[in-house]
């Protein structure tokens, strides 16, 4: 008795194509890394939790953004000072401090979630102060209107209260920054005197021009409730 099956020609061709299909799908799957993965030197357990929690990935994105915004605004402050726009320089300094507060707030929540904050600092492109203000307005508007609202919605869906808080603090401050930068951009010549002070809340990074507004500053563990920049 013949122990081998005889496979009709047509079926053999189909089987071969199916096998090739499996091979090619497998090879695609192995060459494309998962999009949710955050490049890091963290442990496999931390990487697993990153892929499980979109909010952790969002916090890493926000942490990276705030880290770079801090560096960029310091460079813009130096340029504004060189060009004689002393008040604009103060505004950039105040916003840089606010972004630093956001960066550290986000880092705290990332650590609470068992991961390590990851950022990649890039050298900012410094142009004229007017152009730098335009860049700053675009960045702040995107964070205020798109990035933080989306991240907050996701954190709420995950029931992560600490993430909701740090992301909401940042969104509030970015709205103020966008407004202040627009004021400077629209009337730049009046931002030369260096007489304008800014008040940065150490808990939320919110940024005001009147000291009386610091009463709105949420309670913090810092010895100073707000910092004055002028
Ligand atoms: Fe920020
Ligand atoms: Fe900002």
| 173-182 per-residue burial string, b: 16 or more CB within 10 A, e: under 16 | bbbbbbebbb
196 C-alpha to ligand 1 centroid (Å): 21
Which ligand is closest in space to the CA of residue 169?
1
Which ligand is closest in space to the CA of residue 207?
2
174 C-alpha to ligand 2 centroid (Å): 4
Query: How do residues 145-165 score in pLDDT, each as one tens digit?
Result: 999 999 999 999 999 999 999
Distance of CA 16 to the CA centre of its chain: 49
Task: Give the CA diameter of the chain.
Answer: 103
Query: How do residues 67-108 score in pLDDT, each as one tens digit?
Result: 999 999 999 999 999 999 999 999 999 999 999 999 999 999
CATH code of the domain made up of 46-229: 1.20.1260.10
Q: How far is residue 90 from each of residues 42, 43, 162, 191, 207, measured CA to CA in Å?
A: 38, 41, 31, 10, 12
Please say if the pLDDT value at position 8 is more than 80.
Answer: no
Which ligand is closest in space to the CA of residue 68?
1
217 C-alpha to ligand 1 centroid (Å): 16
- Which residues lie at CB < 5 A from ion ligand 1? 66, 99, 102, 170
178 C-alpha to ligand 2 centroid (Å): 7
Query: How do residues 30-41 score in pLDDT, each as one tens digit?
Result: 333 333 333 344
Which ligand is closest in space to the CA of residue 147?
1
What pTM, to 2 d.p., does this model score?
0.78
26 C-alpha to ligand 2 centroid (Å): 44
> Residue 229, Cβ neighbours under 10 Å: how many?
21
Are 129 and 188 in contact, with CB atoms under 8 Å apart?
Answer: yes
1 C-alpha to ligand 2 centroid (Å): 81
**How do the domains of the chain map onto residue ranges?**
46-229
């Amino acid at each position: 008795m013949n122990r081998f099956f005889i496979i009709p020609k047509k079926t053999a061709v189909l089987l071969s194509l199916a096998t090739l299909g499996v091979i090619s799908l497998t090879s695609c799957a192995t060459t494309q890394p998962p999009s949710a993965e955050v490049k890091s030197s963290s442990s496999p357990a931390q990487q697993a939790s990153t892929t499980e929690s979109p909010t952790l990935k969002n916090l890493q994105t926000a942490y990276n953004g705030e880290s770079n915004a801090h560096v960029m605004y310091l460079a813009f402050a130096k340029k504004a000072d060189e060009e004689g726009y002393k008040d604009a320089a103060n505004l950039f300094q105040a916003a840089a401090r606010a972004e630093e507060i956001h960066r550290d707030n986000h880092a705290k929540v990332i650590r609470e979630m068992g991961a390590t904050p990851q950022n990649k600092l890039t050298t900012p492109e410094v142009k004229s102060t007017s152009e730098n203000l335009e860049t700053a307005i675009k960045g702040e508007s995107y964070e205020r209107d798109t990035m933080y609202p989306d991240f907050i919605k996701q954190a709420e869906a995950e029931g992560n209260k600490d993430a909701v808080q740090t992301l909401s603090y940042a969104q509030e401050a970015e709205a103020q920054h966008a407004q202040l930068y627009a004021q400077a951009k629209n009337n730049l010549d009046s931002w030369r005197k260096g007489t304008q002070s800014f008040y940065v809340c150490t808990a939320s990074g919110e940024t005001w021009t009147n000291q009386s507004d610091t009463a709105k500053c949420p309670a913090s563990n810092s010895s100073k409730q707000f910092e004055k920049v002028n």
